[in-house]
A and B are shown apart, each in its own frame.
Chain A
Amino acid sequence: MKMKSDQAIKLLNDEGLRLDGRRLDELRPLKIEVGVLKNADGSAYIEHGKNKIIVAVYGPREVHPKHLTLPDRAIVRVRYHMAPFSVPERKSPAPSRREIELSKVIREALEPAILVEKFPRTAIDVFIEVLQADGGTRCASITAAAVALADAGIPMKDLVAAVAVGKINGKIALDLNHLEDQYGEGDMPVAMMPGLKTITLLQADGIFSKEEFKQALDLAISGIQVIYRKQREALKKKYEKMIRTVTGGGS
């Protein structure tokens, strides 16, 4: 639930700009790097505004404990964790209620993209470590995790990209930061597979009218397209640089 006492906080100035100087439909600066960890099968680092998140993917690998094994598909396990220093007030490193829930929603946002039936009896582990948080970490985590999964060579139908939209001072805004999330009237994280035009995560907090919801979803989809392009650029950059192709196809 959003606090009612938010009238006093002005999140938009007279020119319609937000606290960090962005327009309503503007994303925060985004940077994605692929393959930042040597030990992991796949990894990615994302800087989405002030969010800094590192993701490692292991697998497909043998399942431990053994009884979790599924005979017809791989299991996907996600651990979302915030570093104690990721927020101004020290966060206990033990997994909180919120982190456990986020691990679940992120897993469910990624799973539809992964071809889990290609690797029966195995596990795909995704470790998400939030180094610095500033609102919208679940979306940034999904964006980075999709890239890390592709880097790990896990077969996928499409990448998954995510962004949050929300309502601040009665206006629909894209990509909320921590302050806007805290003092705004609502926020709505959206994740989707842009190529398939399929939404894999949609949550909402606060009150949206039918029109506002439609407008918010459209805004999120347009933001996701930009993020998707960045994901693709990051992957291409790594692999096209690594492989210098000399000859045409052949075996």
Chain B
Amino acid sequence: MTPRRRKKIPVLLPGDKIPSIKGTLGPGVTRREDGKNVSVFVGQLLVQEKGKQRVIQVAPLKTAYIPMPGDIVVGKIIEVGVTSWSVDINSPYTAILPLSEVFSKPTEITRINLSKSLKVGDVIIAKVVAFDLTRDPVLTIKESKLGKVPRGTYLELTPLEAYVFYRRIGEEKFVETVKQKYGCELFVGKNFRIILIGESLEAERNAMHEIISTIRKYVKV
């Protein structure tokens, strides 16, 4: 998205009334006991048209990552179990990567050593297949473009930086720019983590530099 007009969007605080716009309430907004629709975060108002529906939400400037089925995330293996791996996905909930979501063929668990395929410290690009807050999220790496990242540059954004990167800069645009300019593949996880895979470390570094400096234009540290 190109910066067209300079317009200040006010920062909403917890308990601030949402201006009365017709539409359904999305995340970040709650109807309180006193009947008012209020923001629950420090964030900015976001009105999205989804088909015929209009969704009113508050985009938090800071928040914990809560997995959603279908999200592409960047994870780190933290534990190798008997039939599954535990994966840190930068969230209050540790994700599970079961054996069946790694190998397509049926495998004999007595014959196989899990740490041969993925060991502690490995970085993976994975997709959340299921999560409903009652049990830990389940990941898969069986689709194309998913799986272990053999090498690359890894960056973890703060929630505010991520907010700016997703909402204000537009990640799709950036993926293209980085590909053309530096020949790097950019993976953007929904969990505030970014991976760059290029031909050389230098290309990756230059691309990362551009990403960071672009974010810095919007966010002061």
Contact = CB atoms under 8 A, between A and B. Distances in A.
Binding between chains A and B = yes
CB-CB nearest 5 A-B residue pairs: A158-B15, A153-B62, A155-B40, A156-B14, A195-B15
A247 B7 contact: yes
Contact of B38 (A71, A121, A153, A157): A157
Nearest to B164: A243
A150 B33 contact: no
Interface residues of B, number: 48
B62 A42 contact: yes
Given A59-B92, A62-B92, A241 B34 contact: no
Interface of B: 1-9, 11, 13-15, 28, 30, 32-34, 38, 40-42, 44-48, 60-64, 66, 92-94, 133-134, 159-160, 164, 166-168, 217-220
Given A246-B3, A248-B5, A150 B14 contact: yes
Given A71-B134, A157-B14, A196-B34, A249 B40 contact: no
11 contacts: A119-B64, A152-B62, A153-B41, A156-B14, A156-B15, A196-B33, A242-B219, A243-B219, A245-B9, A247-B2, A248-B7
A232 B14 CA distance: 9
A232 B13 contact: yes
Interface string A152-173: 1101111100000000000000
Given A119-B92, A120-B133, A193-B15, A153 B42 contact: yes
Contacts of A243: 11, 44, 61, 160, 164, 218-219
Interface residues of A, number: 42
| Interface of chain A: mostly helix, strand, loop or mixed | loop
Contacts of A202: none
Nearest to B62: A153
Given A155-B41, A157-B40, 13 more contacts: A42-B62, A59-B92, A115-B40, A119-B92, A152-B62, A153-B63, A195-B38, A235-B11, A243-B219, A245-B8, A247-B3, A249-B45, A251-B166
